[in-house]
């Protein structure tokens, strides 16, 4: 734990705001909060870099509910900035990335640090992404004695690490915590000699030619082959007012924020397994949960749907999209729904909205270099080969029908084997 981070209660924090001559960054976090676990190492990294210029503070939301209510914080984590005793800048909430946090800090501070001394790293195989696909590739590549480096913009584990309950991964004892599973993968990759550089912000990628190149804030990587396993991130709700109310009525993690909505009515937006599972979870707290789905059919498993339909606290609206989110300064009051068939609108009272509307592949940095499909996924068949020699795509970032942890690890294994064959000069690989 960085000694530049202070853990405070409400009284200590309010005293700090009265006396601090430097800006303050506050992380409101909770227990049993996957996005909070994702943010924690990022917050530490930023504290080490910027701790001499801005005070880093963490406050447990459950133990300081009155302060959270006063500041209008209903989601975990929520990051706020203060200067001269008053809130400034933009709030951050939900599953945060290092670039999001860094940019927000630098908007408050400006550029205060000299440029870093750059390191050069040469390797046989570079793996971009440290989720199940990237870690699986690392295990296979390390075991094949390839000089292998995994570069991850966040912390290793990907979306799987934010899942508390994975019940369908082969070889586990009924169910396993996602963080435990991916940490096991990480430890296994390291045991085979794989170097893992996490919390590295990628600025440039060059994939063509015999030498692949990746630039981060302090390292230049050169590799003979590369596996793209950058995964996908949860898609934001495309509705008027949704972005402004992120963490203040609009949420992306029911496990983290559901307890704040005890005795209220909430909506869950989406039709996949995550949406249905979280709707069922929310009935522990909310008086009523309305599932809003844009289609007739659902991607969720039939057993999950049956459980939701049998729950008296859940109702389901199909062929509906959320057009607008409305409320007061800190409270959500209603959602405007639009029928996708006839355009008719209805307004329903809600106190919270939980969003599970799919994911967006993290492929923007590869545009113009490898072939992408209409949704932005990398075009690659089951052999994971892309249109460029020595470049492979694995996991949720690849064009495929099924995206599960098991299929991601399968992709990683295949990509590493294909890369090994390529590096050893096998024709056509």
Tokens 């498993």 belong to residue? 301
Q: Which residues contact 300 (CB under 8 A, 6 or more apart)?
A: 271, 272, 273, 275, 276, 277
With H, G, I as helix, E, B as strand and everything else as coil, classify residue 50: helix
Q: How far is the CA of 130 from the CAs of 127, 152, 154, in angstroms?
A: 8, 5, 8
CB 369 within 8 A of CB 388: yes
Could you tell me the two tokens for 273?
């397994």
- Give, rounded to a whole angstrom, the gap between the first and last alpha carbons of the chain: 45
Q: How many beta carbons lie within 10 A of that of residue 26, not counting itself?
A: 24
CB 101 within 8 A of CB 54: no
Identify which of 95, 153, 178 has the alpha carbon closest to the alpha carbon of residue 406: 178
With H, G, I as helix, E, B as strand and everything else as coil, classify residue 350: coil
Name the packing angle between helices 132-143 and 178-191 (round to 10°).
20
Q: Compute the distance between CA of residue 110 and CA of residue 103 in angstroms, rounded to an integer.
A: 9
Report the sign of the C-alpha dihedral through residues 44, 45, 46, 50, in that order: positive
Could you tell me the two tokens for 344?
């008719």
Could you tell me the two tokens for 60?
């447990």
Q: Compute the distance between CA of residue 423 and CA of residue 145 in angstroms, rounded to an integer.
A: 12
Q: Compute the distance between CA of residue 380 and CA of residue 207 in angstroms, rounded to an integer.
A: 15
CB 28 within 8 A of CB 78: yes
Name the packing angle between helices 132-143 and 405-423 (round to 10°).
40
Question: Which residues are marked as active site?
Answer: 253, 256-257
Could you tell me the two tokens for 129?
């992404």
CB 404 within 8 A of CB 168: yes
């Amino acid at each position: 734990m960085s000694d530049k981070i202070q853990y405070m209660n409400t009284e200590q924090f309010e005293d700090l705001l009265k006396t601090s001559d430097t800006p303050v960054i506050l992380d409101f976090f909770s227990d049993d909060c996957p996005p909070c676990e994702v943010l924690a190492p990022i917050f530490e990294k930023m504290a080490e870099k910027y701790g001499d210029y801005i005070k880093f503070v963490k406050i447990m939301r459950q133990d300081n509910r009155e302060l959270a209510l006063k500041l209008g914080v209903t989601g975990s984590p929520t990051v706020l900035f203060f200067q001269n005793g008053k809130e400034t800048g933009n709030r951050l909430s939900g599953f945060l990335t290092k670039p999001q946090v860094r940019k927000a800090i630098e908007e408050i501070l400006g550029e205060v640090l000299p440029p870093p001394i750059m390191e050069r790293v040469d390797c046989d195989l570079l793996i971009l992404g440290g989720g199940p696909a990237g870690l699986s590739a690392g295990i296979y590549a390390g075991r094949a004695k390839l000089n292998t480096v995994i570069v991850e913009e966040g912390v290793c584990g990907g979306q799987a690490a934010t899942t508390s309950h994975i019940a369908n991964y082969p070889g586990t004892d009924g169910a396993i915590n996602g963080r435990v599973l991916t940490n096991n993968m990480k430890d296994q990759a390291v045991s085979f000699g794989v170097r893992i550089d996490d919390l590295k912000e990628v600025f440039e990628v060059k994939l063509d030619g015999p030498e692949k190149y990746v630039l981060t804030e302090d390292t230049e990587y050169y590799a003979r082959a590369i596996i793209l396993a950058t995964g996908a991130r949860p898609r934001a709700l495309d509705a008027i007012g949704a972005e402004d109310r992120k963490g203040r009525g609009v949420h992306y993690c029911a496990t983290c924020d559901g307890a704040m909505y005890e005795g209220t009515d909430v909506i869950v937006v989406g039709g996949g397994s995550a949406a249905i599972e979280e709707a069922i979870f929310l009935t522990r707290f909310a008086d009523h949960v309305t599932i809003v789905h844009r289609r007739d059919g659902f991607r969720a498993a039939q057993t999950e749907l049956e459980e939701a339909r049998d729950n008296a606290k859940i109702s389901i609206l199909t062929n509906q999209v959320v057009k607008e989110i409305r409320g007061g300064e800190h409270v959500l009051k209603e959602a405007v729904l639009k029928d996708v068939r006839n355009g008719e609108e209805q307004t329903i009272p809600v106190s919270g909205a939980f969003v599970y509307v799919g994911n967006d592949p993290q492929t923007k940095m590869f545009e113009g270099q490898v072939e992408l499909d209409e949704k932005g996924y990398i075009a690659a068949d089951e052999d994971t080969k892309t249109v460029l020699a020595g470049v492979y795509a694995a996991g949720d970032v690849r064009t495929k029908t099924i995206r599960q942890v098991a299929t991601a690890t399968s992709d990683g294994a295949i990509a590493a084997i294909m890369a090994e064959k390529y590096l050893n000069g096998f024709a056509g690989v």
